[in-house]
Amino acid sequence: MWVIVMPFYDYDGRDRAGRRQQGRLEARTEAEALQVLKFMGLGRDSLKSQKLLSLDFKLPPQLQKFLDRRGVGDKDLITFTKQLSVLIDAGVSVVKALELLEEQAENPVMKRALNDVRVKVERGQDLADAMEALPSVFNDLYCSLIRAGTASGQLDVILKRLGSYIEKNAKLKRQFYGAMFYPTIIILLAVGLTAFMLLVVVPMLATTFVDSGKELPGLTLFVIEASNFLRSYFLLIIISLGAAQYFLRRWIATPQGQLTWDGMLLRIPLIGPLIIKICVARFASTTSTLVASGIGITDVLQTASKVLGNRVLEAMILRVREAVIQGKGMGNPLSKERLMPPMVSSMVSIGEASGRLDAMLQKVSDFYEDEIDVAMAAVLKAVEPVLFVVIGGIVGVILVAMYLPVFQMASTVD
């Protein structure tokens, strides 16, 4: 294990268009940092701090491989896309821009990916083709837009649009996970509290009741038996749950399993409508971005279907694509799909008729982003009291079962 001293520089200023740019960049010298700022359209006075030294440890290969599995997150991709857009807009060549961003990348997976892309571009390969070889970092949508931007000579504009799209998509994911976080925590607390009472509290009280020699109420006996069962087979239950989760994941990984599972999710009250709203917002945003970038509508629908994250809805978009290939347009086929809200098909029809499909789809995306906030609030409002009632019911039954013998003993003494 050895240490490399790596200098970083903070910057804060405004570019030629007046937009504020803040961040931290890695450079070997202050002169190199100032050169990067110049490429970004920032002046010397934007460099706000002195050199910051950080220690970069070279980890053992196996540990480094484990840490690298975290992959490239939305934040890394958003930062790269926006910075590449700024550099291309400032007239920096693609190779030089990739080199600069590779040096700044903190994520080791992203750093290696940019190195691979840069080497291929230097050898004459198209940027989109080089990125296409790394699907775990740059998906089909990303590569399609890069190819469209390169072909049209508007790579900086496309990158800016792409950065906004990824940011919006990341917000949708955060919204969904945020909605699921609170109920999940409550359920885990309920399971933990129930297990604690059955494994620790009930056995302590049960010993006292059994030693008294008195006949116990049926509810008390039931809770004691449940406690004994859990204590006797606790390890087996844990193993069984782990095995069930493993085989469930394996089943969901199959095409038919994924289709069945996604269909079940859509039928869950409150959760199903929320998933549909998220997928519609994602579909509208993706399609709007692709159409505005000049990509053909059949390719747009093919790519958009893959970003929905639900096989049932993906199959729906592919059916619409088949109808478009037959010359039927998008609006009418969408209106025949049961899961697609009528407003979406109406807006698409208007967009097709007016030649402003991308603008109409962007309005749909904005509308459903607001709808998602409302839907999540409704889910939390409905789920919260149900969870508390269930938790209170379980704990209440256990407490009543344990206190019933005490009440019986007290009445006998009287």
List, as one string, the DSSP characters of 366-399.
HHHHHHHHHHHHHHHHHHHHHHHHHHHHHHHHHH
Residues in CB range of 82: below 8 A, 6 or more apart = 159, 160, 163
pLDDT at 369 over 70: yes
Q: How many CB atoms lie within 10 A of CB 371?
A: 17
pLDDT band at 260 (very low <50, low <70, confident <90, very high): very high
Q: What is the pLDDT of residues 159-206, one digit of tens each?
A: 888 888 888 888 877 777 777 777 788 888 888 888 888 888 888 877
Q: How many CB atoms lie within 10 A of CB 243?
A: 10
What pLDDT is stored for residue 321 in this prediction?
92
Q: Which fold has domain 199-414?
A: Receptor-associated Protein (1.20.81)
For CATH 1.20.81.30, list the domain ranges present in the chain. 199-414
Stated length of the chain: 414
Q: What is the pLDDT of residues 46-74, one digit of tens each?
A: 665 544 444 444 445 555 554 444 567 78
CA distance linking residue 102 with residue 114, whole number of Å: 6
Q: Residue with structure tokens 């704990």?
A: 395
Secondary element (H or E) of residue 284: helix 271-292
pLDDT band at 319 (very low <50, low <70, confident <90, very high): very high
Contact 316, 400 (CB under 8 A): no
E strands, 199-305, are none
Average pLDDT score over residue span 209-236: 81
**Burial (CB count within 10 angstroms: exposed 0-12, middle 13-18, buried 19+), residue 241:** exposed
Residues in CB range of 397: below 8 A, 6 or more apart = 219, 223
Q: Model-level pTM greater than 0.85? A: no
Pairing of strands 3-14, 20-26: antiparallel
> Which one, of 128, 1, 137, 132, lies nearest residue 61 by Cα?
1
Contact 152, 352 (CB under 8 A): no
Contact 21, 14 (CB under 8 A): yes
> Which one, of 310, 259, 322, lies nearest residue 282 by Cα?
310
- Give the distance, in angstroms, between the CA of residue 305 and the centroid of all CA atoms in the same chain: 17
For the chain, the average pLDDT equals 80
405 vs 150, residue with greater confidence: 150
114 vs 181, residue with greater confidence: 114
Tokens encoding 315: 């199959």
Residue type for 194, please?
Answer: T
